Amino acid sequence: MATLFYTPDIGEAKTYTLNEEESRHCIKVLRLPEGTLVHLVDGEGGFYTARIQRADPKRCILEITGVEREFRKPAYKLHIAIAPTKNIDRFEWFLEKATEAGIDEITPLICARSERRTVRTDRLFKRITAAMKQSVRAYHPVLHEPVGFRDFMAEPPSARPYIAHCAPGTKTYLSGTVRAGERVLVLIGPEGDFTPEEVDLALRQGFTALSLGEARLRTETAGLAVCFEMGLLNRS
């Protein structure tokens, strides 16, 4: 696999100049010579092949030789609104794994029982970008700014909405209810789970109570379980 760069600003030009950090990585660290083929992804489905035209360690110039649009386009859309974990490593881990497994949108959801109420989205975005490159994906998941549960509920859901919670009550599985290709939104609560009031509000708003199985899963594990199950439900 050739070296992959994330170039959201690539546009339609026939050449692309890597920024100073990428140029240094490409020429100084990897020591790639002129003529070497590399790949670029624009984060919106574009997968480019390019050749190193000028091996400048500060301004490495690439000649675009080909592009594939909608590269490995996912067959479905998944948006997970999830409470950031108290230990941010667990949340960053979720972002990395969800990106590998397949996800379109992530919203850090600040709930009544959230111990962590802020996140550094710039840092989290970098973790997502690294995972996108590592798993050779051309679509960059969207990371929204953190939002409070009630504010999030004030907007009508843009997809079939589910809420995964641990309290007793009638619940359904994704399998058997989600149709292939359907857009899905899943809410995942904090370590202490959603409050009864939050669950009631979601159900009144038309969310379906979701079960991920009998085992008790950590917040970040529950989020990833949803990513994998959606992938399986949409596997051709």
Smallest distance, a copy of itself to C-beta of residue 216, A: 5
Query: Would you say 157 and 206 are in contact if contact means Cβ atoms under 8 Å apart?
Result: yes
**Distance between CA atoms of residues 213 and 191, nearest Å:** 17
Residue 136 lies near a copy of itself (rule: CB under 8 A): yes
Q: Considering only residues 80 through 109, tell me which ones interact with a copy of itself, judged by CB under 8 A.
A: 93, 97, 100-102
175 near a copy of itself (CB under 8 A): yes
Our finding on whether 218 is near a copy of itself (CB under 8 A) is: yes
Three-state DSSP at 48 gives strand
CA distance 157 to 162: 10
Work out which of 134, 158, 179, 200 binds a copy of itself, going by CB under 8 A.
134
Give the shortest CB-24-to-a copy of itself separation in angstroms. Answer: 24
Distances in Å between the alpha carbon of 71 and those of 83, 173, 208?
31, 30, 32
Can residue 158 be called a binding residue for a copy of itself (CB under 8 A)?
no
Listed ranges 24-32, 107-115, 150-158, 224-232: which one lies at the site for a copy of itself (CB under 8 A): 224-232
Which of 121, 135, 195, 205 touches a copy of itself by CB under 8 A? 135
Q: Closer to a copy of itself at the Cβ: 169 or 228? A: 228
Q: Which of 8, 169, 196, 213 binds a copy of itself (CB under 8 A)?
A: 213
Cβ contacts of 213 within 8 Å, gap of 6 or more: 225
Nearer to a copy of itself, 149 or 165 (CB): 165
Residue 170 makes contact with a copy of itself by CB under 8 A: no
Q: Give residues with Cβ within 8 angstroms of 34, minimum separation 6.
A: 52, 53, 54, 55
* Beta carbon nearer to a copy of itself, 50 or 98: 98
Q: Distance between CA 134 and CA 229 in Å, rounded?
A: 21
Q: Is the separation of the CB atoms in 172 and 207 below 8 Å?
A: no
Largest CA distance in the chain: 63
Binding residues (CB under 8 A) for a copy of itself: these are: 72, 93, 97, 100-102, 134-137, 173, 175, 213-218, 221, 224-225, 228-229, 231-232, 235
